[in-house]
Chain A
Amino acid sequence: MPSLSRRDLLRAGGVLIVSFACGPLRPRHARAQGAPGKPLDPAQVDSFLAVHADGSVTVYSGKVDVGTGLRVAIAQLAGEELGVPAERIRVIDGDTALCPDQGSTGGSNGLTRGGAEVRQAAATARQALLSLAAARLGVPPAELAIADGIVRPARGGAGAAIGELVGDRRLALTVDPNAPLRAPSTYAVVGRSLPRPDVPAKSTGRHLYVHDFTLPDMLHARVIRPAAPGATLVSVDESSIGGISGVRIVRIEDFLAVVAKDEWAAVRAAGALRAVWRETRTLPGSEELDRWTRSAPIERDQAIVERGDAVAALAGAVRLVSASYFWPFQSHASLGPACAVADVRGGRATVWSSSQGTHAMRATLARVFGFAAADVRVVFMDGSGSYGTNGGDHAAADAVLLSKTLGQPVRVQWSRQDETGWDPKGPQQLLDVRAALDRSGNIAAWDTEMWVPNAAPGARPLLAADAAGLAQEQGTNAGAVTQNGDPPYRADNVRVLVHWVKETPLALSNLRAPGKIANTFAVESMADELAVLAGADAVQFRLARLDDPRAIEVIARAAGAFGWQSRPAPNRVAAAGGLRVGRGIAYVRYKQAENYVAMAMEVAVDPATGRMAVRRVSCAHDCGLVVNPDALRNQIEGCIVQTLSRALHEEVRFDRARVASVDWASYPVLRFPEAPEIDVVLIDRPGERMFGAGEAAAAPVAAALANAVFDATGVRLRTVPFTAERVRAALA
């Protein structure tokens, strides 16, 4: 350690720049400015959009773009109604001081709710623009049309630019729920694959993520968390970081952090600081989690589907199949660990965060840390993809607690181990499914019993507040995890019984397509078993038991794209090279109410090693109106690859005390060599309502894979992940 006073180090920030000749970078705190008095009430048009004098438009969206392309899609929806090219529309998302509260972004509701509200505001504004132009041009509104930002008489003649008509003034209009929307047949902007505006900056290193945001006088913090959830802090040895200058330790009860002006000093100190924790051994361990789940205390039982009498029908059935399926805890495992910056001064807090629910976070932070809600502003900034609620909300709470304590802006960057180990998890799921065919092959009875963690009302507790001993709500909620537990096929007697398990070993949140991947895995594996029992081809079996033409079309299109040959499973044809090759299909009507998705895939299994390769995937997808086909394809491809990763590799491991899955070695995910060929067939239905598409294609992935493995090997995989050891054991 060079002899350097702490003051020198603080002044120099630990690093002294002698010469530096790169082009100037964008100021990294450009988004802190406010807009006093801007309306936020979702009933007002001005809350959602502003028309500027130069004819450009700003749209304010409460829903946020977490790498999904939501911004371009929202710009397209607004542009279509306003008659403005999407390129002239800037979308600001998730800033609680600028954007109306449209609820958290999740459950694929970004476009269906968020986009629809913006669209209605834009349609209302369109009527106002027509009236303003009518007065100016002396032509009745009904004879005017807007295109390219100019209102013109439909029969030709002089027009008026919308920027001149409005010119940054507020429209002061209530959103009219009956304002007519443009007819889909006239769409010029919606339905086109406009490029996403963020991709050039992301591809050149210029995009500003929350991780890159800085403030003057900002301190870098690392929070030190125990290896075991629930551990209490016994003692801290301050001398253990004596060799690192410019570092302060912050301890509040069991909350422990180090802060420094220099980020590397904080990282070094976090690694060197010796702290003694008292751990408890209260976890069930991941090894026997399926058994633990089956015998865990139940909060209540709830039959969420009951048609006919499934239990009685099954009791008398002869052609019956029953099986259990298990899905483990999984991590969001965002590539970039969570990060947040907070500036708490003078009783006010500003927080920069990549949260999917900035308005909800604002309310929670205000309540927990003792601010008036009006004194808290959460500014959304892009983060690493979050796929639900990852560690980001907790990092924001860490930053607020530290900034409030120190009276200075604080940036909290979680480590890899923090993010994988401490992000709230997608829950384990256990399903027992029994189903029976009658003599003529109809599904006579179907019974799904599922064990899922109980949902308790209230905000999810923040790690920092719990550690610091602050009072807060103790909600638990992993999203709508019980949907898609019933078969989408004709069946005479159906029951879905939910056992709500009282306790959850690990803290939970919503993880992409909550619950529905595991439920579809069970339901579509069972449908496949019934097809085998009936001696039928898997596609034919499904088609014969569906009435909805959109369901039938999506399966037929997936099968067609795949080149599906009709035959029963398993595949009797041996493949070359000792590999066993098979194909599988799965279908879902997402949430039994939204998207139609069918997916066929081909897998090659090596029985000697248990390793498998997904060679190609064909997915047909019907989400009603398609706003941006390429952005939609990107989401669907992502759903498929990410869920293959979850099905093949991912399980959070823990013993009685500690979580052992804390980095990419102990929580492996899919890598490039495993990425399959993907063929996506979009079925566009401009006249139908749009469904969100950030999750639906994830739902059938594990089922299609398991069905393909059965076709290849004659063996059913019913426990995720399908690791090589597990597959080898199953084939032995």
Chain B
Amino acid sequence: MPMYAFRLNGAPVSIDSWDPAQPLLYVLRGALGAHGTKYGCGLGQCGACTVLVQGRAVRSCTLPIARAAGQAITTIEGLGTPDRPDRLQAAFIAEQAAQCGYCTSGMIMAAAAFLSETPAPTADEVRQALAGNLCRCGTHTRILRAVIRASRA
């Protein structure tokens, strides 16, 4: 089986996959046990599976493992922990910006990529930046506040 090497949250990993088209999402959640990244549609429509590839927000459900090879991948687990959350995670906790929380990982990863390019956004810029991330629970106003709070932290 072909082997694919990349960095996951700073650590080197090598993964064997029988199918070069296997989306990164299944590798993360399966063999790598990093279940914080969520499956929502597998179609690139919802953003629940968002991770960072070289710092850019990418939908892991449509990223073939072959294209992840050689890249630095960051998942929600790589940002912080419940005891030591990073600034976005801390802002989501402070704003209680979750209901079911199924969209949360993807929201935070999309917001992380956005804030790295737009460090002091307006609320409308955040709205546009997260337009591709769905939240079915309707937690939008809190997520918006959390991203703004993080940008000021």
Contact = CB atoms under 8 A, between A and B. Distances in A.
Same complex for A and B? Answer yes
28 contacts: A9-B18, A15-B17, A15-B27, A15-B31, A16-B16, A18-B13, A19-B14, A25-B33, A66-B100, A67-B102, A203-B85, A204-B79, A204-B80, A212-B35, A262-B30, A334-B102, A334-B136, A335-B134, A335-B137, A336-B48, A385-B99, A637-B138, A640-B138, A641-B138, A671-B132, A672-B130, A673-B127, A675-B140
A593 interface: no
Contacts of A17: 13-15, 31-32
A638 interface: yes
A673 B131 contact: yes
Contacts of B12: 19, 21
Interface string A259-292: 0001111011000000000000000000000000
Interface in B51-92: 75-77, 79-82, 85, 89, 92
Contacts, number: 246
A303 interface: no
A147 to B, nearest CB: 27
A384 B102 CA distance: 5
A639 B138 contact: yes
B142 interface: yes
Given A384-B102, A385-B99, A13 B141 contact: no
A389 B89 CA distance: 30
Contact of B100 (A19, A67, A415): A67
Interface in A17-71: 17-22, 25, 28, 66-69
Interface residues of B, number: 76
Contacts of A637: 138-139, 141-142
In order of increasing CB-CB distance, the 5 nearest A-B pairs are A205-B36, A641-B138, A67-B100, A202-B101, A205-B76
Interface string A384-403: 11010000000000000000
Given A640-B138, A669-B134, A675-B141, A4 B32 contact: no
Interface string A609-645: 0000000000000000000001100110111111001
A568 interface: no
B100 A384 contact: yes
Nearest to A641: B138
A626 to B, nearest CB: 15
A102 to B, nearest CB: 21
Contact of A199 (B17, B96, B103, B128): B96
A637 to B, nearest CB: 6
A211 B137 contact: no
B145 to A, nearest CB: 11
B115 interface: no
Given A2-B18, A15-B16, A669 B136 contact: yes
A196 B104 CA distance: 15
Contacts of B93: 195, 199-200, 203
A672 B128 contact: yes
B11 interface: yes
Interface in B7-42: 8-9, 11-19, 22-23, 26-27, 29-42
Given A25-B33, A672-B140, A204 B77 contact: yes
Contact of B134 (A204, A207, A664): A664
A293 B89 CA distance: 48
A645 B82 contact: no
B105 A205 contact: yes
A200 B94 CA distance: 9
Interface in A173-230: 195-196, 198-209, 211-212
Contacts of A21: 11-13
Interface of B is mostly: loop
Interface string B107-140: 0100000000000000010111011111111111
A335 B102 CA distance: 7
B111 to A, nearest CB: 11
A677 B141 contact: yes
A382 interface: yes
B15 A245 contact: no
Contact of A22 (B8, B48, B137, B140): B8
Contact of B35 (A14, A18, A25): A25
A416 B85 contact: no
Contacts of B40: 335-337, 416
A236 interface: no
A665 B140 CA distance: 20
Given A17-B14, A333-B136, A641-B138, 5 more contacts: A19-B14, A199-B98, A205-B76, A336-B100, A645-B138
B46 to A, nearest CB: 6
A202 B102 CA distance: 8
B18 A245 contact: yes
Given A17-B32, A638-B138, A677-B141, A204 B45 contact: no
Contacts of A264: 17, 19, 22-23, 26, 30
B153 interface: no
Contacts of A2: 1-2, 18
B77 A268 contact: no
A675 B133 CA distance: 13
A418 B93 CA distance: 32
A67 B96 contact: no
A260 to B, nearest CB: 11
A669 B47 CA distance: 14
B130 A415 contact: no
Nearest to A205: B36
A413 interface: yes
B39 A211 contact: yes
B96 A212 contact: no
A87 interface: no
A414 B35 CA distance: 17
A298 B136 CA distance: 35
B1 A4 contact: yes
A387 B132 CA distance: 22
A397 B99 CA distance: 26
A672 B13 CA distance: 35
A638 to B, nearest CB: 4
A1 interface: yes
A34 B78 CA distance: 33
A336 B138 contact: no
Contact of A201 (B9, B45, B82): B82
A583 B101 CA distance: 32
Contacts of B48: 335-336
B135 to A, nearest CB: 7
A311 interface: no
Contacts of B80: 204
B81 A204 contact: yes
Nearest to B77: A205
A675 B104 CA distance: 17
Contact of B34 (A12, A205, A334, A413): A205
A663 interface: yes
B127 A204 contact: no
A384 B45 CA distance: 16
A531 B22 CA distance: 60
Given A336-B38, A336-B40, A675-B141, A22 B89 contact: no
A382 B104 CA distance: 14
A383 interface: yes
